[in-house]
Structure 1
């Protein structure tokens, strides 16, 4: 059986490929630029673009199970997958798709990710949704400041998240692809512990072996700072999450361990894995 992985060169997709390969599965990795994908020789790398669904028809030939990176035209992918005989799709979604996490600041994310999930479900293909909360990799927003030795400038120093390592997101996705019994599941994921933004910055410093500092801004100052690098809708969503997490910390969930049998990686482990990104 060959497994299809879309978004294969992304932070989660690359780990999905690795997990499937480690399990002895044959993997077909879809990427816009196969020449720069840099996968092991036993991974079949093919050209394909979710923005151009017609390019995916050859990639789907002979595939029974697929990992779908979320995309605006998930319906087109699901239709092509059904036509090709795909029997199972594991879709990367977001915790915001859950009604219990819907807020004003993430209403667009809620609707968008829910639509992606439903596009697959409505196709009749067996579907599992992977719904991570805060990605540990969001802290890469601070990489420039930390590399330069400057303070990380942000509002809401005491916002408490439970950041999840992208490798754990991939591990849950790969488990749902490889094993039976996950059809219809919507797995909301978190890291194993609550940690504030200021503590995250300090933890990155510990991984680097040097001190790092956090300068707390007002929400207005923080918004202006973030808008230098991010779109307005993303900035407003982040600020909304952080503001809420000051008084209502992001829940710590056991899902990663329940699904994979292994504890979720800590933020300190993520920082150690990504120390080079901050040097």
Structure 2
């Protein structure tokens, strides 16, 4: 039995590939650009481009389990190809944003929701993993921290429960190799609710240097963020953070509740990734 890992250049997908391969399982890593993949010796690579259905059959050959990134382009054709190939189970890396109000029209939720619906309408057994904010999202502050500049935030006291990407990988591996998560939809968070200001304080401790915060207006945030992402995405993120400004984030499932082992903390992530915030 082969396990197909799509989006294999992603950090979570790489961690899953490494774990499955180390366990002696047959893994195929797929990407639209397979020549750019770095995989352990013995892991097969395959081309899988969702806008090129002719790549599906080869990538899905002898596959029974799929780890899938949420890309709606070509998803209906991919589902049909998976059913024809005899795939038994798909583990989707979705998003907790699909549970929000008007998720269908929310640019943060739309991609994941379309893929969830395509899978739910299929004959495939599916597990939906819905992580909340990743701890690694704080890498977006690296430019400011590395230059000893204040981190500009419109909602510095917004609460989130960031999840360590390695915890997502552990849960995904359980979903692919065990039965406890088969057919379930699980919302995933880290073990602690932290404001952005509190996360920066944790990074201060990990880096051994002060990280000032600049409280900016929403309009200023829209202007700054709009340089790097579409306006609807910016508005959706700011709405989310504004709503999170009024109390602790809810703690959902973690590796503690699902796997019986402690969840990795944001502090652990910060110390593990301190080199990603170099001073310039």
Corresponding residue of 1:52: 52
Corresponding residue of 2:122: 123
1:265 is paired with a residue whose SS is coil
CA offset at residue 244 of structure 1?
A: 0.7
Tell me how far apart the structure 1 counterparts of residues 30 and 18 of structure 2 sit (CA, whole Å): 14
Deviates more, 1:127-136 or 1:42-51: 42-51
Give the conservation status (yes or no) of the 8 Å contact 2:18–2:40: no
Corresponding residue of 1:208: 207
Corresponding residue of 2:248: 249
CA offset at residue 48 of structure 1?
A: 2.0
Give the conservation status (yes or no) of the 8 Å contact 1:190–1:256: no
CA offset at residue 111 of structure 1?
A: 4.4
Corresponding residue of 2:40: 40
CA offset at residue 44 of structure 1?
A: 1.2
Corresponding residue of 2:7: 7
Deviates more, 1:37-46 or 1:246-255: 246-255
Corresponding residue of 2:132: 133
CA deviation vs aligned residue, 1:197-250 (integer Å, no higher than 9, x gap):
111122222222222121111111111111122221221111011101110432
CA offset at residue 156 of structure 1?
A: 0.7
Tell me how far apart the structure 2 counterparts of residues 174 and 51 of structure 1 sit (CA, whole Å): 27
2:63 is paired with a residue whose SS is coil
CA offset at residue 56 of structure 1?
A: 2.4
Is 1:79 the equivalent of 2:74? no
CA deviation vs aligned residue, 1:155-191 (integer Å, no higher than 9, x gap):
1111011011111112111111101242320010000
Structure 2 counterparts to residues 49-198 of structure 1, below 5 A: 49-72=49-72, 73-98=74-99, 101-102=100-101, 107-198=106-197
User: TM-score, normalized by length of structure 1?
Assistant: 0.93
Counterparts in 2 of 1:246 and 1:50: CA distance versus 1, 3 Å: same
CA deviation vs aligned residue, 1:25-74 (integer Å, no higher than 9, x gap):
11100023333312111211222222323212201000000101111132
CA deviation vs aligned residue, 1:57-107 (integer Å, no higher than 9, x gap):
201000000101111132221111111110000011111222xx3257973
Tell me how far apart the structure 2 counterparts of residues 219 and 10 of structure 1 sit (CA, whole Å): 31
Give the conservation status (yes or no) of the 8 Å contact 1:105–1:237: no
CA deviation vs aligned residue, 1:105-147 (integer Å, no higher than 9, x gap):
9734444422211211222111000001111122121111111
Give the conservation status (yes or no) of the 8 Å contact 2:104–2:110: no
Tell me how far apart the structure 1 counterparts of residues 239 and 223 of structure 2 sit (CA, whole Å): 15
Gaps of 5+ in 1: none
Give the number of aligned pairs.
277
Tell me how far apart the structure 1 counterparts of residues 137 and 251 of structure 2 sit (CA, whole Å): 17
Give the conservation status (yes or no) of the 8 Å contact 2:90–2:127: yes
Tell me how far apart the structure 1 counterparts of residues 52 and 249 of structure 2 sit (CA, whole Å): 36
User: TM-score, normalized by length of structure 2?
Assistant: 0.92
Structure 1 vs Structure 2 CA RMSD: 1.8
